[in-house]
């Protein structure tokens, strides 16, 4: 029962789409990718209780069917497991982290089953919250949580399975296709994941954009270099190549896993059909400044994205994330990120549904804190957008200034060559060179305006959207709770009616239903409270980070501006004697 | 106005004055002209021309009259048409006072009032008003420069029309050209330019010096015109950058109020800095405009006037050669008959033409040299001033930013 309870308690496990469903909707979990995982558990699960987990059931996500039948949580998810990717054995928690299996392998059909169960969720918390399990007792691993993760569990890791009681479902067998090379990533114990080590340092740079392939099937690949002293990574310093859709795929997975726990997931850079097509179709030789600009923008955005994600301790420990930065081979194509895939379409539909939901449902906000924060977020959003618009204007004007200064420099050079008077001619020539130099300075400043100020502000606007999403998750949870309460009332009524009518058989059934719904109400209430707490904590951290980032950004910008001015000073200082020398 | 004008007087005036006094050996005080006041009324600008003189021809030693732009143009045209002055470079007329651009911007601002905050609106309005004032001052300065050049020119200062312009207290009743005259004017200038081109192609100059000068002037004129346009664009862009700081600054202060205590002080300091930086940038832009663009522009016009001079000379040369031919023909025709009348006429004509031509050539040589010297001095002065101002502003901005950065981390 327990298991069941837990499982159903988190509808959100499903990748997002079903906010309310009481049962897991794994159903549409995008097939290709490993089940969206129960993110929450990821880190937690494994940490700490390796032992507890012995249960063979690996965490695969329970298939919907499983969920429905609380009775046997343990039954290994139907062989449907073909999934295979799951194989990891729950037994080895550490391994689990790894893999986020390449998606394709996993899940096919359906539910990546995770037999979660036994995992004991150490409430560890990643993200410190461990809230996930408020209710879970150690013994019952929040398997529920597992399910979502299912996929992520490294398929490759499979070999690890050994620890787990093999008896478990075969799914565990790595057999799974895991395309991923069995990276033996030595996963350090998950415990470390939890620690929000104060001294942890991780820095990611994205560099060397390269075009791989040709024509429409080509893509841009970037080198992701990570420097870290965090223990659960294998090395201190290494690089991997990743393509753009990999980044998007990572973001999707993180959202699926963590959003409903109340975490703010840094948004990934957007897709741009035009820019990408231009690059795909253009040859290397013709890379004009427009597409170079686009590539540079994207590279910078990806770098900021990676760094923001890695500063978040929970996300950093997430297996998907870790695999992303560490796996030395190509990641399976994140086909769900493509707009036209079935998953993409589903996502779109869901998004539409959610928007309607947002607009129609007015939540009865009892918590003062949330009310204030929501308002503040809204006005921050509006104001940042305005600010961003004026920043863009500044960038444009400065670029124009650089261009017109360059034109002037050329005209002055011409003038100087025509001028007969020799010292005036020299002076004019000098003027032309000075202007040329100021032009370069202006141009560099415009770039600084752009990258430091404008793009960062844009990132913030997107982050605020992510925050709004998290708040909305909470609203959804509230809705679930309300819905459960209403249904409970109805069931109670039905039971009373049956009692009155004296239909004992019906009464029995009604009783069962009442109990069932009582449980649901309880769970959804817990869920609501949990997410509220999580959000509060998350927001605190977010605020701190945001303030710091903002200050850093402004300070850097002012420093750049000051350097520009100092350079201009030098230029004019060299010019003056020349001007004075005109005889 | 008067005080304001003093600061804004472009160095050209001073430059020209001092330049002139270097090259023209005259005592300035014999005839001093300036514009002591100016009033802007809707479409027109009324200038108060104030004269101080020790010359006997004038009725009073000191007097003022009110003139409008059209009257300045009338004066210029009188000089231009006068054949006696064919050998001189006629000072270029001042450009028409043009406030359209400012007016347009003011209008746009008014329309967009709803979309910005009160402070932003008032700041932008202030900026526009300052711009308007600057344009106004500039046009006053240009008119003044024109008059001063005339006053200091040895020959021009004695011109009758000039005297009338300075003294006549009534309105000169110079009506602006009506349509017909405008069209006529258009034709005339068209003819002149075709003639110019024709002459340039066909007429060979006897004097190498002038030939060279002509080529030089043409090239130079094009180059400097180009440079002026680009300089204008550059100063405009600079101004736009400065203006966009306004929005940035106010956007930031609003953000500060939303953010609350944590970031508020920080943001307000930054917003303040941007505001100050904007003022400096604005000044950079206007100084560039004044020192660089205006100098270039002035010399475009002066160069144009020089080209006119050369053209006149060339025309004169053509006439002279024509007269020679006529004389030869007359002589040839009348060889036998001895009709001295025709020949005499032709001789006379030829002699006149010859004199005229020589006169023009000499004067022209002087004028061109003078122009060169003036140009070099003016450029030198303005370039130095430009560089010094730019340096000053850049230092000011760097200092501003530095102090801001120092005060920030304190929080």
Asked which of A383-387, A421-425, A513-517, B190-194 is least confident by mean pLDDT, the reply is B190-194
pLDDT in tens, A559-578: 888 888 899 899 888 888 88
Torsional sign, CA A187, A193, A197, A199: positive
A340-383 confidence digits (pLDDT tens) = 567 667 777 777 777 777 666 667 777 788 888 888 888 888 88
Residue A369 backbone phi and psi in degrees, to 5: -55, -45
Interface membership of B402 toward A (CB under 8 Å): yes
Residues B221 and B161 in one domain: no
Q: Which residues, numbered 392 to 411 in chain A, qualify as contacts with chain B under a Cβ-Cβ cut-off of 8 Å?
A: 393-394, 397-398, 400-401, 403-405, 407-408, 410-411
Residue A499 has pLDDT above 70, yes or no: yes
Look at the block and give the residue holding tokens 């740079």.
A205
Report if residue B15 sits inside a domain.
Answer: no
Whether residues B209 and B159 fall in one domain: no
Helical pair A368-418 and B208-259, crossing angle rounded to 10 deg: 170
- Look at residue A61 and tell me whether its pLDDT is greater than 50: no
Q: What is the CATH number of the domain that holds B160?
A: 3.30.1520.10
Banded pLDDT at A407 (limits 50, 70, 90): very high
Chain B within 8 Å of A570 (Cβ-Cβ)? Answer: no
Does the CB of B124 have a partner CB in chain A at under 8 Å? no
Flag if B230 and A411 touch (Cβ within 8 Å).
yes
Question: What's the rounded Cα separation, in Å, for the pair A53 and A120?
Answer: 6
Mutation target vs B (from A411, A435, A582, A583; most B CBs, 10 A cutoff): A411
> Within 10 A of B112 (CB to CB), how many other CB atoms are there?
12
Angstroms from A381 CA to nearest CA on chain B: 10
State whether B240 and B93 are in the same domain.
Answer: no
Say whether pLDDT at A294 is over 60: yes
Identify whether residues B89 and B157 lie together within a single domain.
yes
Q: Tell me the chain A residues in contact with residue B373 when contact means C-beta distances shorter than 8 Å.
A: none
Q: In A235-312, which residue ranges form alpha helices assigned H by DSSP?
A: 244-258, 273-281, 289-311
The confidence score (pLDDT) of residue A279 equals 67
Give the nearest partner residue to A427 out of B234, B383, B398, using CB atoms: B383
Using an 8 Å CB-CB cutoff, list chain A residues near B398. 562, 565-566, 569
Residue B90 lies in a domain: yes
The residue of chain B with its CA nearest to that of A580 is B384
In percent, the amount of chain A with pLDDT more than 70 equals: 59
Q: Give me the pLDDT at residue A39, please.
A: 37
pLDDT higher at B407 or A133: B407
What Å distances lie between residue B304 and A318, B92, B179, B214, B219, CA to CA? 75, 8, 25, 12, 12
Please give the residue that has the higher pLDDT: either A553 or A85. A553
Same domain, B328 and B247: yes
Q: What is the mean pLDDT of residues A389-394?
A: 88
Looking at the structure, tell me whether residues B161 and B213 fall in a common domain. no
Residues B210, B94 share a domain: no
What phi and psi, each to the nearest 5 degrees, are found at residue A533?
A: -65, -45
| For residues A96-109, average pLDDT | 37
Residue in A414, A565, A567 to test binding to B, most B beta-carbons within 10 Å: A565
Q: Is B220 helix (H, G, I), strand (E, B) or coil?
A: helix
Of the candidates B110, B140, B136, the residue with the CA atom closest to the CA atom of residue B124: B110
What is the structure's pLDDT at A128?
36
Cβ contact (<8 Å) for B387 and A555?
no
Give the per-residue pLDDT at A208: 83
Q: SS3 breakdown of chain A: % helix, strand, coil, rounded to 5?
A: 65, 5, 30
Query: What are the Cα distances from residue B371, in Å, to A345, B92, B299, B301?
Result: 76, 13, 9, 12
Q: Is the pLDDT of residue A177 over 70?
A: no
CA distance B124 to chain A (A): 14
Q: Where residue B247 sits, what CATH number does that domain have?
A: 1.20.1270.60
The span from the CA of A125 to the CA of A45, in Å, is 9
Nearest-CA distance B290 → chain A (Å): 16
Nearest CA in chain B to A383: B255
pLDDT in tens, B15-46: 333 333 333 434 455 788 888 888 887 778 88
Q: Please, which residues have CB within 8 angstroms of residue A338's CB and are 6 or more apart in sequence?
A: A245, A344
Per-residue model confidence as pLDDT tens digits over A537-555: 888 888 888 888 888 888 8
Residue A164 to residue B3: CA distance in whole angstroms: 93
Smallest CA–CA distance, residue A313 to chain B, in Å, is 24
Grouping H, G, I as helix, E, B as strand and the rest as coil, residue A204 is strand
CB distance B196 to B312 below 8 Å: no
Residue B33 lies in a domain: yes
* Nearest chain B Cα distance for residue A403, angstroms: 8
> In this structure, what is the dihedral angle of CA atoms A255, A256, A262, A267, given to the nearest 10 degrees?
10
Alpha-carbon separation of residue B239 from A397, B99, B101 (angstroms):
9, 17, 14
Is B6 among the domain residues?
A: no
Distance CA B57, CA B157 (A): 11
Low-confidence ranges of chain B (pLDDT < 50): 1-27
For residue B134, being part of any structural domain is answered with no
pLDDT number for residue A406: 92
Residue B208 within a domain: yes
Residue B62 C-alpha, separation from nearest chain A C-alpha, in angstroms: 38
Among the partner-chain residues B391, B404, B408, the one whose CB lies closest to the CB of A569 is B391
Structure token digits, residue A334: 């994140």
Q: Which residue has the tokens 């945001």?
A: A546
C-alpha triplet A131, A137, A141: angle, nearest 5°: 80
pLDDT computed for residue A551 by the predictor: 85
**Are B402 and A562 inside 8 Å of each other by CB?**
yes
Cβ-based contacts of B394 with chain A (< 8 Å): 565-566, 568-569, 572
Q: Specify whether B147 is located in the same domain as B216.
A: no
- The Cβ-side half-sphere exposure at A506, using a 13 Å CA radius, reads 13
Q: Considering only residues 16 to 45 of chain A, which have any Cβ-Cβ distance to chain B shorter than 8 Å? A: none
pLDDT at A182: 37
Q: Which residues of B touch A405 (CB under 8 A)?
A: 234, 237
Number of domains making up chain B: 2
Residues B233 and B149 in one domain: no
Residue of B384, B408, B409 with shortest CB distance to A576: B384
Q: How buried is A395 (Cβ within 10 angstroms: 0-12 exposed, 13-18 middle, 19+ buried)?
A: buried
Burial class (CB in 10 A: 0-12, 13-18, 19+), A336: buried
Cβ neighbours of B280 in A, within 8 Å: none
Q: Do A414 and B408 touch (CB under 8 A)?
A: no
Query: Which H or E element spans position B33?
Result: strand B31-41
ipTM above 0.90, yes or no: no
Is residue B251 a part of any domain in this protein? Answer: yes
Distance from CA of B109 to the nearest CA of A (A): 16
B40: β partners: B45
Residues B228 and B377 in one domain: yes
**In angstroms, rounded to a whole number, what is the distance separating the alpha carbons of residues B403 and B409?**
11
CB within 8 Å of chain B, chain A residues 69-128: none
Residue environment code for B21-53, b if the CB has 16+ CB neighbours within 10 A, otherwise e: eebeeeeeeebbbbbeebebeeeebebbbbbbb
A544 CB within 8 Å of a chain B CB: no
pLDDT digits (tens, 9 = 90+) for A442-496: 888 888 888 888 888 888 888 888 888 888 888 888 888 888 888 888 888 888 8
Residue B55 contacts A where some CB pair is shorter than 8 Å: no
Same domain, B338 and B209: yes
Strand pairing class (B44-53; B31-41): antiparallel
In chain A, whose CA is at the least distance from the CA of B398? A562
- Which residues 255-294 of B have a C-beta within 8 angstroms of A? 255, 258-260, 262-263, 266, 270, 273, 277
pLDDT of residue A79: 40
Q: What is the largest CA-CA distance in chain A?
A: 119
The answer to whether residues B324 and B222 belong to one domain is yes
- Measured between CB atoms, which of B220, B238, B398 is closest to A566? B398
Whether A536 and B376 have beta carbons less than 8 Å apart is answered as no
Residue B151 domain boundaries: 29-99+141-165
Using alpha carbons only, what angle is made at residue B329 by residues B324 and B335, rounded to the nearest 5 degrees? Answer: 125
The verdict on residue B309 lying in a domain is: yes
Give the largest Cα separation in chain B, rounded.
111
Q: Give B-chain residues touching A569 at CB under 8 angstroms.
A: 391, 394-395, 398
């Amino acid at each position: 029962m327990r298991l069941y309870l837990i499982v159903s308690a988190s509808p959100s496990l499903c990748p997002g789409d079903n906010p309310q469903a009481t049962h897991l909707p794994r159903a549409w979990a995008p097939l290709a990718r490993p089940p969206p995982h129960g993110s929450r558990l990821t880190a937690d699960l494994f940490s700490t209780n390796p032992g507890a987990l012995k249960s063979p059931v690996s965490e695969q996500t329970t298939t919907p069917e499983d969920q429905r039948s609380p009775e046997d949580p343990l039954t290994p998810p139907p062989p449907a497991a073909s999934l295979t990717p799951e194989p990891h054995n729950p037994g080895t928690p550490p391994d689990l982290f790894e893999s986020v299996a390449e998606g394709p392998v996993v899940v096919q059909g359906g539910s990546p089953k995770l037999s979660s169960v036994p995992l004991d969720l150490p409430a560890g918390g990643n993200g410190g919250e461990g809230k996930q399990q408020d209710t879970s007792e150690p013994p019952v691993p929040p398997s529920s949580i597992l399910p979502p993760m299912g996929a992520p569990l490294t398929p490759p890791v499979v070999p690890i399975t050994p620890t787990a009681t093999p008896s478990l479902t075969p799914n565990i067998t790595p057999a799974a296709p895991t395309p991923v090379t069995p990276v033996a990533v030595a996963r350090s114990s998950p415990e470390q994941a939890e620690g929000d080590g104060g001294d942890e340092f991780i820095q990611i740079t994205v560099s060397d954009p390269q075009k791989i392939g040709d024509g429409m099937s080509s893509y841009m690949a970037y080198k992701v270099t990570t420097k870290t002293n965090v223990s659960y990574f294998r090395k201190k310093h290494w690089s991997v190549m990743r393509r753009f859709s990999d980044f998007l795929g990572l973001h999707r997975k993180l959202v699926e896993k963590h959003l409903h726990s109340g975490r703010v997931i840094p948004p990934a850079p957007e897709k741009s059909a035009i820019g990408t097509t231009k690059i795909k179709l253009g040859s290397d030789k013709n890379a004009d400044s427009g597409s170079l600009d686009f590539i540079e923008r994207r590279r910078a955005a990806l770098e900021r994205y990676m760094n923001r994600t890695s500063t978040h301790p929970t996300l950093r420990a997430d297996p998907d994330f870790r695999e992303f930065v560490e796996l030395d081979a190509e990641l399976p194509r994140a086909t769900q990120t493509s707009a036209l895939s079935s998953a993409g379409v589903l996502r779109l539909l869901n998004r539409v549904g959610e928007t309607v939901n947002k607009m129609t449902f007015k939540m009865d906000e009892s918590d003062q804190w949330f009310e204030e924060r929501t308002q503040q977020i809204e006005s921050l959003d509006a104001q940042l957008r305005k600010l961003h618009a004026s920043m863009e204007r500044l960038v444009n004007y400065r670029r124009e200034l650089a261009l017109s200064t360059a034109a002037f420099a050329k005209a002055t050079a011409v003038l100087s060559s025509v001028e007969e008077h020799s010292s005036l001619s020299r002076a004019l020539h000098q003027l032309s060179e000075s202007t040329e130099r100021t032009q370069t300075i202006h141009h560099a400043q415009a770039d600084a305006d752009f990258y430091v100020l404008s793009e960062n502000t844009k990132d913030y606007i997107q982050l605020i959207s992510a925050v709004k999403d998290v708040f909305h998750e909470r609203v959804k949870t509230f809705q679930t709770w309300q819905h459960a309460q209403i249904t409970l009332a109805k069931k109670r009524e039905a039971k009373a009616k049956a009692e009155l009518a004296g239909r004992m058989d019906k009464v029995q059934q009604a009783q069962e239903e009442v109990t069932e719904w009582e449980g649901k109400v309880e769970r959804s209430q817990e869920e609501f409270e949990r997410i509220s707490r999580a959000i509060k904590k998350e927001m605190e951290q977010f605020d701190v980070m945001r303030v710091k980032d903002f200050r850093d950004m402004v300070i850097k910008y002012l420093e750049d501006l000051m350097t520009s001015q100092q350079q201009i000073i030098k230029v004019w200082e060299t010019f003056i004697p020349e001007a004075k020398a005109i005889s | 106005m008067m005080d304001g004008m003093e600061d804004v007087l472009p160095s050209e005036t001073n430059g020209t004055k001092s330049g002139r006094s270097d090259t023209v050996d005259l005592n300035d005080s014999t005839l001093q002209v300036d514009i002591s006041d100016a009033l802007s009324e809707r479409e027109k600008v009324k200038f108060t021309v104030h004269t101080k003189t020790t010359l006997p021809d004038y009725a009073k030693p000191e007097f003022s009259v009110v003139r409008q732009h059209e009257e300045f143009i009338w004066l210029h045209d009188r000089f231009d048409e006068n054949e006696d002055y064919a050998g001189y470079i006629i000072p270029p007329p001042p450009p028409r006072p043009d406030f359209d651009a400012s007016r347009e911007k003011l209008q746009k601002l008014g329309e967009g009032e709803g979309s910005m905050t009160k402070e932003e609106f008032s700041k932008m309005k202030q900026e526009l008003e300052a711009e308007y004032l600057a344009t106004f001052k500039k046009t006053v300065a240009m008119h003044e420069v024109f008059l001063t050049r005339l006053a200091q020119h040895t020959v021009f200062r004695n011109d009758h029309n000039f005297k009338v312009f300075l003294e006549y207290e009534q309105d000169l009743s110079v009506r602006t050209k009506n349509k017909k005259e405008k069209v006529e004017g258009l034709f005339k200038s068209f003819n002149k330019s075709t003639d110019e081109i024709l002459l340039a192609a066909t007429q060979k100059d006897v004097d190498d010096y002038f030939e060279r000068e002509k080529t030089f002037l043409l090239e130079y004129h094009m180059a400097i015109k180009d440079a002026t346009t680009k300089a204008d664009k550059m100063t405009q862009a600079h101004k736009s950058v400065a203006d966009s700081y306004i929005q940035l600054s106010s956007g930031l202060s609003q953000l500060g109020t939303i953010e609350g205590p944590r970031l508020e002080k920080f943001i307000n300091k930054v917003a303040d800095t941007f505001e100050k930086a904007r003022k400096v940038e604005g000044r950079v832009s206007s100084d560039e405009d004044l020192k660089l663009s205006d100098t270039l522009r002035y010399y475009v016009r002066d160069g144009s006037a020089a080209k006119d001079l050369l053209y006149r000379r060339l025309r004169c040369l053509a006439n002279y050669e024509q007269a020679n031919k006529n004389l030869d023909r007359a002589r040839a025709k009348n060889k036998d008959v001895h009709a001295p009348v025709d020949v005499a006429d032709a001789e006379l004509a030829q002699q006149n033409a010859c004199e005229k031509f020589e006169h023009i050539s000499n004067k022209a040589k002087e004028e061109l040299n003078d122009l060169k010297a003036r140009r070099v001095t003016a450029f030198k002065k303005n370039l130095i001033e430009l560089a010094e101002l730019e340096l000053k502003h850049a230092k000011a901005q760097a200092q501003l930013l530095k102090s801001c950065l120092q005060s920030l981390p304190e929080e």
